[in-house]
Amino acid sequence: MISDDLTCPQDVNWQGYFRLLFSAKTQELISTMKVFCGRANPTTGSVEWLEEDEHYDYHQEIARSSYADMLHDKDRNVKYYQGIRAAVSRVKERGQKALVLDIGTGTGLLSMMAVTAGADFCYAIEVFKPMADAAVKIVEKNGFSDKIKVINKHSTEVTIGPDGDMPCRANILITELFDTELIGEGALPSYEHAHRHLVQENCEAVPHRANVYAQLVESRRMWSWNKLFPIHVRTRHGERVIVPPPEMERCPGAPSVYDIQLNQVSPTDFTVLSDVLPMFSVDFSKQVSSSSACHSRQFELLASGRAQVVLSWWDIEMDPEGKIRCTMAPFWAHADPQVLQWRDHWMQCVYFLPQEEPVVQGSALCLVAHHDDYCVWYSLQRTSPEKNGRVHPMRPVCDCQAHLLWNRPRFGEINDQDRTDQYVQALKTVLKPDSVCLCVSDGSLLSMLAYHLGAEQVFTVESSAASHRLMKKIFKANHLEDKIKVIEKRPELLTSADLEGKKVSVLLGEPFFTTSLLPWHNLYFWYVRTAVDQYLGPGAVVMPQAASLHAVVVEFRDLWRIRSPCGDCEGFDVHIMDDMIKRALDFRESKEAEPHPLWEYPCHSLSEPQQILTFDFRQPVPLQPVRAEGSIKLRRPGRSHGAVLWMEYHLTPDSTVSTGLLKPAEDKGDCCWNPHCKQAVYFFSTTLGPRAPSGGPQAVSYVVEFHPDTGDVTMDFTLSNTRDDGH
């Protein structure tokens, strides 16, 4: 999937798994079946080389996959089954044998559906070897080995002929190659190749057709995920405004889609400017082209405003008549919003126009969908591209650096004026006219706040050349290029000369670092504070002065499905897949908490939030582990799906910024999560399911430990049926 998460450095998987094969070590590594994996530690900042099992990457891929989510997608499974039955029937009615090609078979589920529907033989293609091995076992367990051949290759490598993988071309093409953007997983090139080399002309295809829809909206909230807004700073000398540089204003933004659970965006957060527009369709039963193309739709504006954002989704029709349809439409565009199917493997898309544009109700415009072989993007034009010759063949590319350094939530966080005001108020209590400030965060505007609030001198550290250039641009746009010194190096490598021989009186951090994935990874600030201890003056203030790790036990409305065993799927036994996922999750670090933006995933709390660990930034990182044991009492009935963990940063004794819960849970336990941050979810694997049994657990005991030598936070949560009455 081509998504924002893959574009922005913050969400790049820091574990990376870069393999280091030294020539002198090659034979030794092969003989021991081990590999060295590079791990850039996000908390300590160090680079470590770890010896791992040869299947380490596989375990990570499986553990973080959406296989379980897809198997739980009842709507998807039923519609595919209906479409497959209809396709097999059409072929049989013509007096032909039903020969099926299933590309991206995964568990082999769709192939087994085809054989059950009467297909004579299926060729199931799966490029991921552990998944192909699992498919072979699942097919065998369900008694279909004589009718299904699993081929562990990419479909473009499959051969046809007497000695090939398939003796002849198939006449039914079944695929599930889609992501949230429809084409982001390479569906178009795969279909193009299949029609040229693997299937008969005018074959049956399931799905038969895909349709992409779009809707133009104005949304300050969503636009704040894409552009830097003017930021207001109230000082004793009046209001100062931090403005974005012209390069950021003109920049078309990142080329990647922002895929989200659009049903969790409130209708009050956007104004609809157009009807839902069918933008383009792909007929999978005919030759498909992966060449770049554009599709325009003229429409009449429903309201005046500022055209900023395009919301997009797709549906697939399983049959030529379009009677069997599976749609990703959000609730306001859904034919029956009461029966929405929750799914996380296919969501909805948010695209940002290159520039916002004022529009007037009743006027006519053209919305243009462009795509190449992997990406979709949109533009707004006064007339159709066919008439004006403007087709924008190239996808937008960020040239201001900001969209490469800040992901969408980070833009939103920086644009959060209430958050800025909180930092301003805290800074006012610690800054003095002679303050020398050192700001340590990635791409932070704290240094500008400190300057505007009267600090004598401000230094800011930017570890990468790209972030250094970006901050230079922002400072120049605000005439501060000579007021704030940017130091381009890792903060651990600072020297007295970098600080011009001065002692730091105020050390500032948000903390925010692009390498952080889990909430406690930003404890890197503590390690930096320790590294620069020698440069802190007597009585130096560290802000935030401390942090604390908090937890609450929750019941998810839907997110539990991604970790819940499936067992039986449409009458087929897939326990082998469940076991495979469980083994992967049990594989060392996959067993730990995982990051999720919980504003997209409703849940309600079964306990009160509880502080687990505290970290005192006023002191260097301790040498000994910090450990906490205790229990969390469950105060509301429900299914204990997991514990949610987050960090709270105590800027001053009177000011705290939460990366998790923003306010106490309501009577029913509904949670309001910080939309700019991902929280950590530790799933209780033994209780995943939709209903709470009677006499369920009354408490959750925990052991959580922070290991200073590695920066790791290890944890274990155990459900208990013993009431915690304080005795």
Asked if residue 587 has pLDDT above 90, the reply is: no
Q: What pLDDT score was predicted for residue 213? A: 98
pLDDT level of residue 350 (50, 70, 90 thresholds): very high
Per-residue confidence band for 62, with pLDDT thresholds at 50, 70 and 90: low
Give per-residue burial for 332-366: e unless 16+ CB within 10 Å, then b. ebbeeeeeebbbbbbbbbbbbbeebeebeeeeebb
Residues 716/700, Cβ–Cβ less than 8 Å: no
**pLDDT at residue number 58:** 56
- Distance, in Å, from the CA atom of 457 to the CA atom of 437, rounded to the nearest integer, reads 6
What one-character-per-residue DSSP string does 353-379 give? EEEEEEE-TT-EEEEEEEE-SS-EEEE
Q: Is 218 a catalytic residue?
A: no
* Partners of 125 in beta bridges: 103, 151
Q: Which of 138-152, 189-203, 220-234, 687-701 has the lowest mean pLDDT?
A: 687-701
pLDDT at res. 3: 40
pLDDT score at 51:
57
DSSP letter string, 272-317: E-S--EEEEEEETTS----S-EEEEEEEE-SS-EEEEEEEEEEEEE
Residue 4 predicted with pLDDT over 50: no
Q: Which CATH number fits domain 210-224+255-383: 3.90.1150.10, 2.60.120.620, 2.60.40.790, 2.70.160.11?
A: 2.70.160.11
| Mean pLDDT for the stretch of residues 383-409 | 80
Across 691-703, average pLDDT: 75
Catalytic-residue membership of 185 = yes
Q: Looking at the domain that runs over 548-578+585-720, which CATH code has it been given?
A: 2.70.160.11
Contact 437, 505 (CB under 8 A): yes
Catalytic-labelled residue, pool 61, 140, 185, 570:
185
Q: Which of 52, 126, 176, 181 is catalytic?
A: 176
Q: Where in the chain is the domain with CATH 3.40.50.150?
A: 66-169, 416-543
pLDDT level of residue 574 (50, 70, 90 thresholds): very high
With a cut of 60, say whether residue 50 has pLDDT above it. Answer: no
Domain 66-169 has CATH 3.40.50.150: yes
Residue 18 has pLDDT above 70, yes or no: no
Q: Give residue 337's pLDDT.
A: 83
Question: Beta-carbon neighbour count of residue 602 at 10 Å?
Answer: 19
**Residue 59: its pLDDT value, please?**
59
Q: Which fold has domain 416-543?
A: Rossmann fold (3.40.50)
Q: Say yes or no to pLDDT of 485 above 80.
A: yes
- Band of residue 364 on the pLDDT scale cut at 50, 70, 90: very high
Asked if pLDDT for residue 404 goes beyond 70, the answer is yes
Predicted local confidence at residue 20, as pLDDT = 28
pLDDT computed for residue 689 by the predictor: 55
pLDDT of 700: 95
pLDDT greater than 60 at residue 257: yes
The yes-or-no verdict on residue 577 having pLDDT over 60 is: yes
More confident residue, 415 or 563: 415
Segments in 532-673 forming alpha helices (H): 575-585
Residue 12, pLDDT > 80, answer: no
φ, ψ of residue 543 in degrees (nearest 5): -130, 115
Q: Is the pLDDT of residue 113 over 50?
A: yes
Q: Report the alpha-carbon distance of residue 432 to residue 221 in Å, rounded.
A: 35
In which residue ranges of the chain is CATH 2.70.160.11 found?
210-224+255-383, 548-578+585-720
DSSP-assigned beta bridge partners for residue 53: 34
pLDDT tier for residue 599 given thresholds of 50, 70 and 90: very high
- Cα Dmax for the chain: 90
